Amino acid sequence: MESRKRRAFFDIIDEYFERFEELANRLEEVFFEKPSWNCKTCTIEPLREIKVTPNEVIVTVDLPYAEEKTIKVIPVGKDRISISAEMKRKVSFDDFGITHYKGEFQRFHCEARVPVPVYTDRMEVQFKRGMLEIRLPRKHEYEIPI
């Protein structure tokens, strides 16, 4: 009974932090809007979505034109993952009908912030019909700083 209560308490705290992280991510998007492309690095930022379930975090990334063999998912620190992929063909602003910018893109790149602790060494990656899916098991341990 006591352990159930304690778990419930930690669940509430956990949920609170998840909500706070979600809000922080939204604010980051709103206040730090930037183009979805970078001419210097010739990269395009793909659309992505992060879903937190009780047991895992699922990150999906839309990668049209991506060459499957070149997809890299690399953990960066404790709470971020870097995702990159080469494109099958170069895409330029001209392809979008845009003439006031110049530049070519041949790579996708983005960094995704994982809002809860996860085991990055146990992640599973799947690529299907241009959609990348990364599954990261959640850590349910609490570190109490002394």
Residues that bind another protein in the complex, under the rule CB under 8 A:
26, 29-30, 36, 44-47, 49, 60, 62, 64-65, 91, 95-96, 128-131, 133
Q: Closest distance between another protein and the C-beta of residue 144, in Å? A: 34
- 3-state secondary structure (DSSP) of residue 118: strand
Q: Closest distance between another protein and the C-beta of residue 104, in Å? A: 13
Angle, CA of 30, 33 and 34, to the nearest 5° = 165
Are 87 and 107 in contact by the 8 Å Cβ rule? The answer is yes
Q: What's the CA gap between 21 and 107, in Å, rounded? A: 29
Q: Closest distance between another protein and the C-beta of residue 133, in Å? A: 7
Cβ neighbors of 47 (< 8 A, separation 6 or more) are 61, 62
Q: Closest distance between another protein and the C-beta of residue 77, in Å? A: 25
Describe the strand order of the beta sheet including 131-137 as a list of residue ranges.
Answer: 48-52, 56-62, 131-137, 124-128
